[in-house]
Amino acid sequence: MFTGLVEGVGTLAVREPRGGDVRLTIAVGTLPFDNVQLGESIAVNGCCLTVIAFDTASFAVDASNETLALTTLGQLAIGAPVNLERALLPTNRLGGHLVSGHVDGLATATQRWDDARAVRWRFELAKPLLRYIAQKGSVCVDGVSLTVNASDDSGFEVALIPHTVAHTAFHALHVGAHVNIEIDLLARYAERLHATREWV
């Protein structure tokens, strides 16, 4: 589990084809990286991935074809910045919202504008996922926990404070880019419970 509070920004250092899928090496950049362990989970742009090797400045993960098909990881350029978060400890404060690191789909950044010191973004999202996005609810965009400022039948809007822009890969995002989206866990389970009421 994660919180959607990005701990550091790294970069994609190596993409290595391996038996039909891909091994990625991520340079840790500003991520605090002490006491890392083999097998631990790190969210990379919101994707929960398992550390299979590491050194003092990078870690390697295997990305399955499912991950490559459903996230932006397969299209990232070498050197592209990525948001990084290590898994939540039971003793941590939960400052964002509960995030699993299981990406539901992709959205497209369609608009960016300044709003005082904040930066506003609009994303278009397919209707099957958009129904889970609620105004003032939570959404995870490229691993960043954000509050939905507005939503309609084609997309949603968020506002990023200067700290978020400065300490995430959002500083490099551009209109037309795709981002990873994870909907709120509560919305997913609420729908599932509602759909299965007739089973009882």
Q: Which CATH number fits domain 105-193: 3.40.1710.10, 2.40.10.10, 2.40.30.20, 2.60.120.280?
A: 2.40.30.20
Which stretches of the chain score pLDDT less than 70? 197-200
Domain limits of the chain? 8-86, 105-193
Q: What is the pLDDT of residue 22?
A: 97
Q: Which CATH number fits domain 8-86: 2.40.30.20, 3.30.9.10, 3.40.50.2300, 3.40.47.10?
A: 2.40.30.20
- Judging by DSSP bridges, how do beta strands 41-44 and 144-151 pair with one another? unpaired
Q: What is the pLDDT of residue 89?
A: 85
Secondary structure of residue 75 in the 3-state scheme:
helix
The string of DSSP codes covering 101-168 is S---EEEEEEEEEEETTEEEEEEEE-HHHHTT--TT-EEEETTEEEEEEEE-SSEEEEEE-HHHHHTS
Same fold, 8-86 and 105-193: yes
Q: What is the pLDDT of residue 93?
A: 78
Q: What is the pLDDT of residue 121?
A: 98
Q: What is the pLDDT of residue 198?
A: 63
Residue 124: alpha-carbon gap to chain centroid: 16
- Which own/partner contact pairs does 12-17 have at CB distance under 8 Å and 24+ positions apart? 12/76, 12/77, 12/78, 12/79, 12/80, 12/82, 13/58, 13/78, 13/79, 14/60, 14/78, 15/76, 15/78
Upper half-sphere CA count for residue 59 (Cβ side, 13 Å): 27
Whether 32 and 39 have beta carbons less than 8 Å apart is answered as no
Nearest residue to 67 (alpha-carbon basis) of 81, 46, 40, 36: 46
